[in-house]
């Protein structure tokens, strides 16, 4: 199912204000820890041409990104995902994989997804063979998520963004901070429209996000971003 996704850079002060407003109207994601947040760990893939990276920089409207995602360092639930984006519209496909598959991937085994009866896994396997698709960077952040039933509206605050050149998803790998100052990313996802009273509480002069978390983390590991 296609959804819409909007992203804004926010300062720490804006985060505190917006979070207070959102909490008054929306429910905390039921999968959050008692602290009200959770840790998202990602391995982002790219090919030998850095297509995903360069297409984002070039403003290509239709593009795919492949990643592996886990939550709170839990190796019992890991998913391989393809996030397809066209402008502000997104569509996600995913398939659960095992920690043993991750271990094979670390060892450079390009057949590690062949055992799954999944179109997505077959697609990634083919790209690993044909264009050298491989994990490029670890992207880790702390997420607070809030939900509202109308149009499956979801507002998230992603803070403490870290980039990791060590691609191990588990074992306490934290990476390096992407921003020198406390900044975050507010994301709004919805199906057809955002309810008006939700729009009223998320209004901000925060700028639209030009680069993805993947690109930001690649830039940070290349010595960019202050």
DSSP class per residue in the chain:
--EEEEEEEEEHHHHHHHHHHHHHHSEEPTTS-TTS-EEEEEEEEE-TT-HHHHHHHTT-SEEEEEEEEEETT-TTSEEEEEEEEETTEEEEEEEEE-HHHHHHHHTT-TTTTTTS--HHHHHHHHHHHHS--EEEEEEEEEEEEEEETGGGEEEEEEEEEEEESS--SSSS---EES-SS-EEEEEEEESS---HHHHHHH---PPBP-S-HHHHHHHHHTT---
Segment 143-159 shows an average pLDDT of 97
Q: Does 173 score more than 80 pLDDT?
A: no
Segment 14-42 shows an average pLDDT of 95
Q: Does 226 score more than 80 pLDDT?
A: no
The per-residue pLDDT for range 79-99, each reduced to its tens digit, is: 999 999 998 899 999 999 999
Q: Give the pLDDT band of residue 182 (cuts 50, 70, 90).
A: confident
Which pLDDT value is given to residue 34? 93
CATH of domain 3-221: 3.20.100.30
Q: Does 71 score more than 90 pLDDT?
A: yes
Q: Which residue has the higher pLDDT, 59 or 143?
A: 143
């Amino acid at each position: 199912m296609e959804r819409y996704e909007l992203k804004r850079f926010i300062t720490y002060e804006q985060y505190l204000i917006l979070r207070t407003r959102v909490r008054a109207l929306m429910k905390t994601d039921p999968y959050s820890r008692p602290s009200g947040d959770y840790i998202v760990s990602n391995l982002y893939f790219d090919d030998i041409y850095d297509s995903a990276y360069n297409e984002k920089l070039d403003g290509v409207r239709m593009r795919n990104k492949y990643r592996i995602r886990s939550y709170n360092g839990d190796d019992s639930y890991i998913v391989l995902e393809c996030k397809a984006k066209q402008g502000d519209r997104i569509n996600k496909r995913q398939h659960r994989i095992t920690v043993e598959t991750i271990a094979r991937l670390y060892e450079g085994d390009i057949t590690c997804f062949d055992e799954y009866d999944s179109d997505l896994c077959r697609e990634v396997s083919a790209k690993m063979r044909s264009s050298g698709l491989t994990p490029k960077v670890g992207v880790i952040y702390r997420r607070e998520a809030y939900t509202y039933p109308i149009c499956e509206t979801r507002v998230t605050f992603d803070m403490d963004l870290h980039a990791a050149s060590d691609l191990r998803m588990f074992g306490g790998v934290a990476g390096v901070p992407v921003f020198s100052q406390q900044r975050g990313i507010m994301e709004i996802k919805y199906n057809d429209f955002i309810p008006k009273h939700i729009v009223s509480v998320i209004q901000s002069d925060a700028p639209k996000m030009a680069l993805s978390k993947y690109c930001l983390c690649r830039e940070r590991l290349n010595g960019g971003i202050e």
